[in-house]
Amino acid sequence: MAMNTEDMLTWMQKILLHPSAQKNRIHLGGGGCLLGETENDVKEKLMNYMRSGIAVVMAGLAVSLVAPLAEAAPSAASVQRADIKMPIQNHIDAFGGKSGVKALINTFVGYVAADPHINYYFAHTNIKALKYNLTQQVCEVVGGPCSYTGPTMTAAHKGLHVTTAAFNYLAQDMIKAMDQRDIAKPAQNYLLAQLAAMEPQIVTANGPLG
């Protein structure tokens, strides 16, 4: 099920109000948000941002205004396996093609491995397989010529007890990686919206990190 505007707003608030936001500004047009701002300040800024049209994709509204649907639609089985909830759009060029997605995932996994808040979850992970599956999944999500064949998000995260906090740290590491790779903000917002829609299949626990 696609996330509606209120669901997306709630997810963004959780990221922006999380303690790690002290160190990382989240892109809201030309500004940002820090921990010192109140929840109402954050909500108002997010609503202004979403109304501005820059985050149309993140709100799950009028998706065709941002980019055309991917020309070569993946199979229904592949979409289901990758847990893609929103219509797939063609942003592959903004990510630098499949090779650009691969480079992004390498950068992202490097950030995750160095992130003390969440690297615990990947202590026994086959990193080569992880990079391959993430590359195939993200490539498919952004409209590239890829077909995801890895485990579903539910199966991949079974027994890991992933918390909302961990999911938010993961999202911030992806934002840092996309910034590092100079990926355009509309394309970033699209991918973040797709990832946010996968949260119910990934987050399986409450409370602090393990």
10-45: per-residue pLDDT in tens?
Answer: 555 555 444 444 444 444 333 444 444 455 555 555
Weakest mean pLDDT among 15-29, 80-94, 167-181: 15-29
User: What is the average pLDDT score of the chain?
Assistant: 74
Would you tell me how many other CB atoms lie within 10 Å of the CB of residue 24?
17
Task: Please give the distance of CA 68 from its chain centroid, rounded to a whole number.
Answer: 20
Q: Name the residue with tokens 């995932």.
A: 105
CA distance 93 to 59: 22
pTM for this structure?
0.65
Q: For 64-202, CATH number?
A: 1.10.490.10
Question: At 200, is the pLDDT very low, low, confident or very high (cuts 50, 70, 90)?
Answer: confident
